[in-house]
Amino acid sequence: MGIYNTKIPDWPQDERPRERMLNHGPEALSEAELLAILLRTGSGKKTSVDLARNLLKSHEGLRGLDQQPISVLCEEKGIGLAKACQIKAALEIAKRLVQQKVRVKEQLSSSEDAYHYVHLRMRDLTHEEFRVVFLTNHNDVIAERMLFSGSVTESVVSARNIVQLAIELSAVKVILLHNHPSGNPNPSAEDKMVTQKIIKACSFFDVIVLDHIVIGNDSYYSFADHGLISSS
């Protein structure tokens, strides 16, 4: 019988996840071991490492776990509400850390910057979301707003709302962002029409639309990079 069929306190010290982290740092641990530290305890004959491995296998890794609502995680044997909340909280902290690293730069200077600013929160959504990042004249981020959830259509997207928010926030520039749940970031004809409508409305108030980023599955489409939005 191997050591992984026993309780973690009975393992040799150099095999226990928490002790390994203390001795070698978190980077030395596998994803299952890191997740096991979050879970803290196992269930029945299964250790926290067993539970972590089962979760990662069932949901195809951390990204798959991130896509699941708390209710689905609670259906896993040995994962109650508290453990499910701990998992979701840790994954959300990771996404916010990435966003803060972008903010340290203070500026969104390229389509790649804009993509990395939001993609962890948008790439795996099962519905479309339309967001706007409001910027200063030097491309410093003032605020980000999720304006609506649903299909991007000319009748739903409110150019007036974007202009009003830009004025309230004293924003000079904006970046439009929305996701395609299909994973294909190529813009539709409707996406292009909506973009031109917003550009026209913003121009009357000297608000510049820098770009419209469409988020796909680990990829994106930039209207500016493809020459569909003038840099002037």
List the domain boundaries for the chain: 3-98, 107-222
Q: Dump pLDDT digits (tens) for 58-109.
A: 888 888 888 888 998 888 888 889 888 988 888 888 877 776 655 544 678 8
How far apart CA 112 and CA 110 sit, in angstroms, is 5
The continuous run of DSSP H or E covering 20 comes out as helix 17-24
Higher pLDDT, 93 or 184: 184
May I ask the CATH architecture of the domain 107-222?
3-Layer(aba) Sandwich (3.40)
pLDDT per residue as tens digits for the range 111-160: 999 998 888 888 888 889 999 999 999 999 998 999 888 776 655 678 99
What is the C-alpha to C-alpha distance for residues 181 and 185, in angstroms, rounded to an integer? 9
C-alpha distances in angstroms, 70 versus 49, 61, 83, 89, 217? 20, 16, 9, 10, 22
What pLDDT score does 2 carry? 44
* Element housing 43 (H / E): none
Mean pLDDT for the stretch of residues 163-171: 94
Q: Which residues touch 200 (CB under 8 Å, ≥6 apart)?
A: 159
Q: Quick one: tokens of 110? A: 């390229």
- Whole-prediction pTM value? 0.61
